[in-house]
Amino acid sequence: MKHRIVVLGAGYAGAFSATFLARQLHSDDFEITVVNAEPDFIERLRLHQLAAGQELRHRPLAEVFAGTDIRLRLARVTDLDPEHRTVTVADGNGVDRLEYDTLLYALGSTIADHGVPGVDEHAYHVAARPAALRLRARLDELDEGGKVLVVGGNLTAIEAATELAESRPGLRVSLVTRGELGGWLGAKAHRHMRRAFDRFGITVHEHSAIVRVEEAAAIAADGTVFGSDATVWAAGFAVHSIAAASGLAVEPNGQITVDRQMRSVSHPNVYAAGDSVFVIGDNGLPYPMSCASAGPTSKAATAAIIGDLTGRKVAPTTFSYIGNHISLGRNDGLFQLVDGDARAKPGALRGWAAARIKSAIINTAAWAISRPTFGKPSHQYRLAIREPSTHPVAG
């Protein structure tokens, strides 16, 4: 019988890991199944563009996985039982149970509502494609002068507000944040970002925490009512509750607790990557939920899976964090580098060049998902070890 590897989620972490494993592991010995809710690889980094009304390139997972023996299961993961090594999935035909020998959990994240009432019912967001399309449909309904309120003051809020304002100049976009907008940016980057907000005519309300969202307003802690025809919640990410509910060891925020090889500390045949996993970066700080983290965590997880199952020695992965690339509409952007303590360096790449480089990086990431070995010959490692937990890898 083949060793069954099941990958949950086909976003940046899951899709890259699956294609990489499929190219490295011999299909006579391994059967790789990917479960994903959507039929396409979603460039989540461009979902604010989709919401704004732009068309994104269609990337069917069937094409991403073409040429591999990966089995794609389009279904929603509803439950995980790591004791019995099963995953429950649901699709249009009903509920099914998949068995695995090795699991890679990469279901990503959604918005963090911070317990604010009304977010679920009344707010829009851009953390998933269906949500971005709902926001887009709502914006289409609005008349000239319709009010869009973005809640949040960090990366996604900055990108969403500028993108919406640029693509929909007829709407009145404002942003409210409990702290300072992009307060962590270096002085030059911060000035540049504020100039972009001014250019797009985005009103900024700082030091105002939203405590309730209603159908046509967001209410701040001091009672201020921000009238809004579409409230866009962009106040951080949170992981799905499936891992915590399954009994896997998780952190207080629900991210899976792993060793340095992305192996669950409670269930060593379960690995995690991307937003779902809790990792302390080389700077001693928690690795941010970001595409930039999905790369190293996927690399570490796939190396560990290959090491554990084939007996190969794997090199340790580094978890560096060099900064953030932020789009300010389609023709402007920032690349803010950070130091070893994750503090912004004084300088930053700004303007058109930063926007172009960011776009090129996103395109390269999508390209690399289906070409994880970058054209190098693939290895076809054979199954050597059947009990991964008893064979820790080097490093």
Tell which positions 212-271 bind ligand FAD, by CB under 6 A: 240
The Cα 230–Cα 123 span in angstroms is: 7
Residues constituting the chain: 395
- The answer to the question of residue 104 lying near ligand FAD (CB under 6 A) is no
Q: What's the min distance (Å) between Cβ of 197 and ligand FAD?
A: 17
- The answer to the question of residue 73 lying near ligand FAD (CB under 6 A) is no
Residues 159-198 as x/- pattern, contact with ligand FAD by CB under 6 A? x---------------------------------------
- The answer to the question of residue 359 lying near ligand FAD (CB under 6 A) is no
- The answer to the question of residue 323 lying near ligand FAD (CB under 6 A) is no
Q: Is 337 exposed, middle or buried (0-12, 13-18, 19+ CB in 10 A)?
A: middle
Single residue of 5, 6, 7, 13 touching ligand FAD by CB under 6 A? 13
- The answer to the question of residue 36 lying near ligand FAD (CB under 6 A) is yes
- The answer to the question of residue 378 lying near ligand FAD (CB under 6 A) is no
Q: Locate tokens 């699956």: which residue?
A: 18
Single residue of 5, 47, 176, 181 touching ligand FAD by CB under 6 A? 47
What residues pair up with 214 in beta bridges, in sequence order?
217
What residues pair up with 212 in beta bridges, in sequence order?
219
- Asked whether 112 and 96 are in contact (CB, 8 A), the reply is no
Residue with Cβ nearer ligand FAD (78 or 373): 78
Single residue of 152, 236, 274, 323 touching ligand FAD by CB under 6 A? 274
Q: Return the structure tokens found at 27.
A: 């299909």
Structural element, H or E, at residue 195:
helix 187-200
Number of residues that bind ligand FAD (CB under 6 A): 34
Q: Return the structure tokens found at 174.
A: 């404002």
For residue 213, which phi and psi values (nearest 5 degrees)? -115, 130
- The answer to the question of residue 7 lying near ligand FAD (CB under 6 A) is no
The Cα 304–Cα 191 span in angstroms is: 43
Q: What's the min distance (Å) between Cβ of 29 and ligand FAD?
A: 26
- The answer to the question of residue 349 lying near ligand FAD (CB under 6 A) is no
- Asked whether 107 and 245 are in contact (CB, 8 A), the reply is no
Q: What's the min distance (Å) between Cβ of 235 and ligand FAD?
A: 12
**Helix 12-24 vs helix 291-310: crossing angle, to nearest 10:** 30
| DSSP assignment letter at 223 | S
| Residues contributing to the site for ligand FAD (CB under 6 A) | 9-14, 35-38, 42, 44-45, 47-48, 76-77, 106-108, 126-127, 156, 159, 240, 274-276, 289-292, 294, 325
